[in-house]
Amino acid sequence: MAPLLPSFGHCSRHFGDSGPAGPDVQCHMADAARYHRLQLLLTLLGVGLSIAYPLALVLTGGGHGLAGWAARVSSARWVQVALVALALGAGHAALTLPLKMIRGFWLPRRFGLLHQPLPSWLGDQLKAAVIVGVLTLAAIEIVYALLVLTPLWWLVAAAVFIAAEIAMTAVLPIWIVPLFYRLTPLADRGLRDRLLALARRAGVAAVGVFVADQSRKSRTANAAVVGLGRTRRIILFDTLLSEFSPDEIEAVLAHELGHHAHGDMRRGLLVNGTLTLVTTGLAALCLELGVTLLGLAGPGDPAGLPWLALVTLALGLGQLPLTNGFSRWIERQADDFALATTDNAAAFVGAMERLAALNLAERRPSRLKEIFLYSHPALDRRIARAEGARRGASSGWDAGRGATADRGGVA
């Protein structure tokens, strides 16, 4: 059978000496444009399905049907809540699975980004679904338990969710990441010492440098500094080690260290905590409204779960420009930190170019798309900012030489 799409993704595997506008970059941009157009279409379809599904249940009284079924199964309220939540989650998973497979597996393979076998990919998806499902179910049970206990349930729930976010950050590198990657200590002692020295200069304590076997799944490259306190560690994709020079690896890591040096977790918690308070507060008002509109027995009626899901999704979508705008702001600061800490704009630009090629990044998204969907500044903006810093440093050096020469002439 002829493929539905031609094979893409191979032309941008390496950069030659063709320059910024040469054929390698042009080929990469053509691939990226096609890839991201298709990804955007699939994303919009997924969002549409995610809205239509609970909306259909709300309009048809499906929530009452699910709640009635759960009540026949068990008289325990927490069991009823769990059954309705699991039924809703299973229906959503079944509805969106085809899109998820196309978007997360088939399309990246067609463009050469992914080479992970389907059984392994499905295994990763299952593990992620279990983790997200357990956490989501726990959050729903907490909300519905608090609805019975206090009219300020939304305030208590927000505090619990913020505490859970902190705990998840701490356990991420020791419990979650090893479920998806084999982590081994970096064998290159010279590079390890160099990166740990960089972390010390940045004022960020790390227990070690570890390598994740990303090449087993994909060609994409990245680095991260994950964890808190004694769980904080540096993680490098093995694809980063194989494709990037030590200077470029240092530039990528310096950006990640910038987040920790700037206290971005604290700032993120402040922003997310505020938005969580707003979200839970508005959800409380909407649940009260749902009692009247949908004939619920009360805000804690499990039949209102489809309505709560719809409200939560709508509030989350409405917050996207704000959360992504905040994220782009701290990402720009992390870029500036990397440039100042390494004093090597050329390495930073080289790293960005290589990341663009390996990750098939969209270099110039529309401004509207960037505002709503991008957590990082557009790649060309990041490179232009770094190039500006490099020219500024060069101009400053040249001006210094001129001033010295003038002073010498006067003397």
Q: What SS3 class is residue 5?
A: coil
Q: Does 199 reside within a domain?
A: no
Question: Residue 279's pLDDT is what?
Answer: 93
Give the C-alpha separation, 204 to 188, whole Å: 21
Question: Residue 30's pLDDT is what?
Answer: 79
Mean pLDDT of the chain: 89
Q: Does 131 reside within a domain?
A: yes
Give the C-alpha separation, 410 to 339, whole Å: 36
Predicted confidence (pLDDT) per residue in 328-374, tens digit = 999 999 999 999 999 999 999 999 999 999 999 999 999 999 999 99
Residues in CB range of 66: below 8 A, 6 or more apart: 57, 83, 84, 87, 88, 302, 303, 305, 306
Give the C-alpha separation, 62 to 379, whole Å: 45
- Is residue 392's pLDDT more than 90? no
Neighbouring C-beta atoms of residue 51, cutoff 10 Å:
15
Strand stretches in 159-222, DSSP E: 183-185, 209-212
What is the residue range of 82's domain?
Answer: 28-181+260-398
* Amino acid residing at 131: I
DSSP 376: S
* Nearest residue to 104 via CA among 116, 94, 87, 95: 116
When divided into structural domains, the chain yields a total of 1
Read off the pLDDT of each residue in 29-38 and give the average, rounded to a whole number: 90
Q: Does 13 reside within a domain?
A: no
Predicted confidence (pLDDT) per residue in 239-280, tens digit = 999 999 999 999 999 999 999 999 998 999 899 999 999 999
* Nearest residue to 161 via CA among 276, 75, 63, 72: 276
Q: Does 106 reside within a domain?
A: yes
Residues in CB range of 264: below 8 A, 6 or more apart: 258, 330, 334
Name the least confident of 83-87, 294-298, 401-405: 401-405
* Nearest residue to 156 via CA among 145, 166, 165: 145
DSSP 218: B
Q: Does 153 reside within a domain?
A: yes
Strand stretches in 23-148, DSSP E: none
Question: Residue 390's pLDDT is what?
Answer: 76
Question: How is 108-143 classified by DSSP, letter by letter?
Answer: HHHTTSB---HHHHHHHHHHHHHHHHHHHHHHHHHH
Tell me how far the alpha carbon of residue 311 is from its chain's centroid.
22
Q: Which helix (H) or strand (E) holds 315?
A: helix 305-342
Could you tell me the two tokens for 78?
A: 């927490």
Q: How many residues does the chain have?
A: 411
Reported as a pLDDT band with limits 50, 70 and 90, residue 27 is low
Backbone angles phi, psi at 225, to 5 degrees: -120, 110
Neighbouring C-beta atoms of residue 153, cutoff 10 Å:
22
Give the C-alpha separation, 294 to 58, whole Å: 8
- In the sheet that holds 183-185, the strands lie side by side as 183-185, 209-212, 233-237, 223-226
Q: To 5 degrees, how large is the angle CA 220–CA 226–CA 227?
A: 160
Q: Does 232 reside within a domain?
A: no
Give the C-alpha separation, 197 to 189, whole Å: 12
Read off the pLDDT of each residue in 10-23 and give the average, rounded to a whole number: 43
31, 127, 266, 349, 370 from 333: Cα distances, Å: 29, 34, 15, 16, 17
Q: Does 318 reside within a domain?
A: yes
Question: Residue 393's pLDDT is what?
Answer: 63
Reported as a pLDDT band with limits 50, 70 and 90, residue 26 is low
Q: What SS3 class is residue 396?
A: helix
